[in-house]
Structure 1
Amino acid sequence: MSTTKYVSDVKVINNNQEVIFNYLSNFENLSKYVNEGLLTKMTEQIPQIKISNFESDADSCRFQIAGMGLAEIRIIEREPHKTIKINSSGGMPVGITFWIQLLPVSAYETKLRLTLDADMSMMIKMMVNKKLEEGINRLADMLAALPYR
């Protein structure tokens, strides 16, 4: 197992840093987007990994991975208005630590950057490396486009 780092491009969101942080630091806000087709899209992109039975609360989300069991992603640290740190456990084929970083540009403009440290075997890296490189930017685009309230 070795750790590989993936970093998204910086995205600019036309909203207040505190509003964005409060929204992203509660997994319940994101559950409707995951349930509305994201799991299907992920399975289409990486057919070796079939995800189902997604559930979430404010601090974590849980889901089944076919052939591997229950997996969980949990927010393990919140630095108010700046950083959300997320970690994985359970049946995931890749151990991950994930950061959402926010930086104010102005009162209603915020920069967002995602960083993913993925701990995986060489075999899994060969299967998913390109998908993770592309996926981190797609996820950043998706988060930048959310209707923050």
Structure 2
Amino acid sequence: MGINKYVSEVKTIDHNQQIVFNYLSNFENLASYLNSGLIEKITEKVPQIKITDFESDRDSCKFNITGLGLAEIKIVNRDPFKSIKVESSGGLPLSFTFWIQLVPIDEYKTKMRLTLHAEMSMMIKMMAGNKLEEGINQLADTLSKLPYQ
């Protein structure tokens, strides 16, 4: 098992840093957005994987992944208005730690970058490594366009 690092492009969000942080640091905000079609967009690129039974509270979310079982991710650290640290637990063939980093540009704009540290076997890396590289940028793009409020 090796740890692999994937870093997204820096994205600009047209909202205040505090608003962005408060929204992203609460998985309940993401639940309604995910249930409105984002899960289908994420999984359409890999049709053999289906995500079902999505549940969340403020600090964690759980979901079933076809063929893999129950997966859970948890927010394990919030550094107010600067970063959110998320870790996986159970159900996945890899474990990961994921950071959302936020930096203010001005009062109404925020820069965001995602960093993923994934621990996976060489076989999983060969199968998923390029997809993770692509996926981290797609996720950053998606998060930059959420309906922050």
TM-score normalised by structure 2 residue count: 0.94
Shift of residue 129, structure 1, vs aligned partner:
1.0
Q: What's the offset of the Cα at 1:48?
A: 4.5
**What is the correspondence of 1:126-141 to structure 2 with a 5 Å cutoff?**
126-141=126-141
Query: Which runs of 4 or more aligned residues in structure 1 lie more than 3 Å from their structure 2 counterparts after TM superposition?
Result: none
Distance 1:99 1:35 in 2: 23
Q: Counterpart amino acid of 1:15?
A: H
Which string of whole-angstrom CA distances, capped at 9 and with x for unpartnered residues, describes residues 122-148 of structure 1?
111111111111111111111111111
Matched, 1:54 2:68: no
Tell me the residue number matched to 1:66: 66
Q: What are the Cα deviations for residues 51-97 of structure 1, in whole angstroms up to 9, with x where unaligned?
A: 21111110000011223221100000000000000000010112010
Match for residue 41 of structure 1?
A: 41
**Identity in percent:** 64
Contact 1:65 1:71 in 2 (8 A): yes
Q: CA offsets per residue over residues 9-37 of structure 1, 9 Å max, x none?
A: 00111110001000000000001222222
Matched pairs, number:
149
* 3-state SS of 1:61 partner: strand
The answer to whether structure 1 residue 4 and structure 2 residue 4 are counterparts is yes
Which residue of structure 2 lines up, in the alignment, with residue 144 of structure 1? 144
Give the TM-score normalised by the residue count of structure 1. Answer: 0.94
State how 1:59-138 maps to structure 2 within 5 Å. 59-138=59-138
SS in 2 for 1:143: helix
Contact persistence 1:45–1:131 (CA under 8 A): no
Paired residue for 2:25?
25
